[in-house]
Amino acid sequence: MAKRILLAFVAIALVVAGAYASFFVAPTERTMGLIQRIFYFHVGSAWAGMDAFFVCFIANLLYVWRREPQYDSLGVSCAEVGLVLTTVVLITGPIWAHPVWGIWWTWDARLTATFVLWLLYVSYLLLRSLIEEADRRALHSALFGIFAFIDVPLVFFSIRWWRGMHPKPVVMGDPGSGLDPTMNKVFFFNVLAMHVLAAFLIVERYLLEQMTHDVADLRQEVEAQ
């Protein structure tokens, strides 16, 4: 319990410090102005979301291989947290896009791939809610989760492979791309903050899933008597 409270405190402190750095430490971008400050929160959430889906993918593979319920719990926890982070990306993106592009949304490759990613993980969670038997639910959702992860590299590489409205990557991008050194530090601080927040939420969600299994086992015990 003490470790969970400590993790919560660290996550909140880092997220607040990250926001402070985004507003008051990072310099104002020359062409976009203030609105570019959404970048730190938007991209930090996107990276943490994709990493949550990656852990979900590994947990799904491990479940298919070893059929141990803790991998199913980890898979669903990461999928839910990844979905929440992707929701934040899909909300903050249009708020940033509107003053810059003059439109809220366009069916650009990056935006479409991200929206499809969101739909895939909504489907993953819906699929779980439709299957009652625990082992079948775990196996089917693990197989679907492995399939859904195919979209994550597509999201990542979409701005490298295809031209669109979404800006080209400024971090790990083409030669000549890059960020101002202070912006770079603020950016990676925010990436760290969002990863710690994601880790905290995954731990909380995992413990909830374990408790769900405990309740199901106890219910069976009570019904058997």
Q: What is the DSSP string of 30-57?
A: TTTBGGGGHHHHHHHHHHHHHHHHHHHH
DSSP 164: -
The mark string for 88-117 relative to other proteins (x by CB under 8 A, - otherwise) is: x--xx--xx-xx------------------
Cβ at position 181, least distance to other proteins in Å: 22
Cα 1–chain centre separation: 25
Residues 16-35 that bind other proteins (CB under 8 A): 19, 23, 33-35
Residues 34-93 that bind other proteins (CB under 8 A): 34-35, 37-38, 41-42, 45, 80-81, 84, 87-88, 91-92
Taking the CB of residue 8, how many other CB atoms lie within 10 A of it? 16
Q: CA angle at residue 181 from 175 to 183, to 5 degrees?
A: 100
Applying CB under 8 A, does 201 fall inside the site for other proteins? yes
**Inter-residue contact 137 to 120 (CB < 8 Å):** no
Query: What residues line the site for other proteins (CB under 8 A)?
Result: 15, 19, 23, 33-35, 37-38, 41-42, 45, 80-81, 84, 87-88, 91-92, 95-96, 98-99, 197, 201, 204-205, 207-208, 211-212, 214-215, 218-219, 221-222, 225
